[in-house]
Amino acid sequence: MQVIPAIDIRQGRCVRLYQGDYARETVYSSDPVAVARRWESLGAGRIHMVDLDGAVGGKLQNLETVEAVLRGVKTPVQLGGGIRNGETVEGLLKLGIGRVVLGTAALENPGLVAELCTTFGDRIVVGIDARDGMVASHGWTQRSTVPAAEMAQRMVALGVRRIVYTDISRDGTLTSPNFQALAELQARVTIPIIASGGVSSLAHIEELALRGVEGVIVGKALYDGALSLPEALASAEKDKRMTHKYEVSKIDRLDSPGRLKRLPPFEDIFSVLPIRPSHSIADIGCGTGVFSLPLAAMVPQGKVYCLDIAEEMLERVRIKVRDNNISNVEVKRTTESDLGVPPGSLDGVFMSFVFHEQEDRVAFLTALRGLLKDGGWVGIVEWVKKEMPVGPPLSERIDPAEARQLAARAGLTVSGEKALGEDYYIIVLGK
């Protein structure tokens, strides 16, 4: 999980507001560049900037400060506040802003959001700022009648790849994140969520990491010293250590088929999957369990079904499960047509296409769709389409464009995609 320090700008200075109230401002520095440099030197992988004058005024007003910060640090910066049209978005991205955050514009102008997502992909982030569960806008001075979770679903339908969720009543209060609201959001959408508002302890960071939140924005707690950034960054790694436990043990690649040796680290593969600790996941074509066991480590309150048609493979999984005292794995022999999992019971499926005959792929995905709960996901790791000394023949490989088409025909939407080294990629689909 990423820990993202916040730099809120008002009249060129670095400030924090209490619950977004412009009348309750604390000025932390008149030199935002120095602040950004400080977060960079302490290890921040990203900085979250807000133009508070812009948010309330309807157009960006601290551009000079933003430019100075961009010149001052190498760390990617995401920026929100007063970004309301395509020209501004394009200009900011050209300027070197990594991602733009759209709040008011996302609420009022869905067409613009869809257009921008088509052009700029995951550089467009939507900020959902909620007060009592409803989306607020215009620097949080206006409250809409749109529930936050519904807004999130609408945004996914428009092609939005990532959400920053801010709980206004917690923001700047050093209380705690709104875990309940985040869980509701996670139940409705599978795209990555960055949480914001109320974070004040390492326990909060750990809890968010374990809940599968992609990132957390921290403001006041860093400025007031309630949290130190290096410690927060360390706590955020807790989720990775869980998969690592298996990475370094003798149960993974050592006896995996040769073709898997070239795979990148598990955390790279799994980082794009919207896995939560309570998820029930099927690892289809699990082979010797090379992915199943790290997956099982990521769902301590859930379960992994290891499914394969080859009994000799499954026997090796059973031995590993027993030797490592893993309790949340169920090993099952299946056929192509019967996966032995009840309809609507899975949160996620992990698989590769090449184990399935070309003509059956859409039917297979459609059947999988039936096994998923609403909001469920499918992560597909594929070989890239090129000649390689190992792996399936070229004719059986499919490229990302083909994978997207297959998904669409099966009624699934693409929610993520990532290259995995030179030989593999992963595509994530949502129901």
216: left (phi over 0), alpha (psi -120 to 50) or beta: beta
- Provide, rounded to whole angstroms, the least separation between the CB of residue 81 and ligand AMZ: 4
Nearest to 50 by CA among 3, 95, 10, 2: 10
Nearer to ligand AMZ, 32 or 54 (CB): 54
CA–CA gap between residue 324 and residue 400 (Å, rounded): 36
| 107 or 298: CB nearest ligand AMZ | 107
101 binds ligand AMZ per the rule CB under 6 A: yes
> What string of H, E and C letters represents the secondary structure of 243-303?
HHHHHHCCCCHHHCCHHHCCCCCHHHHHCCCCCCCCCEEEEECCCCCCCHHHHHHHCCCCE
SS3 (DSSP) at 410: coil
Among positions 234-263, residues that touch ligand AMZ (CB under 6 A) are: none
Q: Is 5 in the site for ligand AMZ (CB under 6 A)?
A: no
How large is the greatest C-alpha to C-alpha distance in the chain, in angstroms? 68
Residue 25 sits at φ, ψ, to 5 deg, of -110, 140
Q: How far is the CB of 89 from ligand AMZ (least distance, A)?
A: 11
Instruction: Assess 104 for contact with ligand AMZ (CB under 6 A).
Output: yes
Take residue 419 and report the two structure tokens written for it.
């290259």
Candidate residues 5, 103, 215, 289; the one interacting with ligand AMZ per rule CB under 6 A:
103
Distance of closest approach, residue 190 Cβ to ligand AMZ, in angstroms: 22
| Among positions 102, 113, 155, 296, the unique one binding ligand AMZ when judged by CB under 6 A | 102
Q: What angle do the packed helices 238-248 and 202-210 form, to 10 degrees?
A: 50
Nearest residue to 247 via CA among 232, 269, 231: 269
Q: How far is the CB of 8 from ligand AMZ (least distance, A)?
A: 6
Q: Which is nearer to ligand AMZ, 192 or 294 (CB)?
A: 192
Instruction: Specify the residue, 102 or 290, whose C-beta has the smaller distance to ligand AMZ.
Output: 102
Stretch that binds ligand AMZ, among 49-57, 244-252, 271-279, 287-295 (CB under 6 A): 49-57
Binding ligand AMZ (rule: CB under 6 A), the pick from 4, 9, 14, 55 is: 55
Find out whether 275 and 299 touch, Cβ atoms under 8 Å. yes
Active site residues: 8, 129
Site string for ligand AMZ, 78-97 (x = CB under 6 A): --xxxx--------------
What's the half-sphere exposure (Cβ side, CA atoms, 13 Å) at 55?
27
Pair type for strands 346-351 and 280-284: parallel
x/- track of binding to ligand AMZ for residues 135-174 (CB under 6 A): --x-xx-------------------------x--------
CA distance 329 to 281: 10
Q: Does 105 bind ligand AMZ (CB under 6 A)?
A: yes
15, 17, 307, 412: which one contacts ligand AMZ (CB under 6 A)?
17
Q: Which residues contact residue 346 at a Cβ distance below 8 angstroms, ignoring those fewer than 6 apart?
A: 280, 281, 282, 305, 371, 372, 373, 376
CB of 304 to ligand AMZ, least distance (A): 36
User: Which spans of this chain sit near ligand AMZ (rule: CB under 6 A)?
Assistant: 17, 20, 50, 52, 54-55, 80-83, 101-105, 127, 129, 137, 139-140, 166
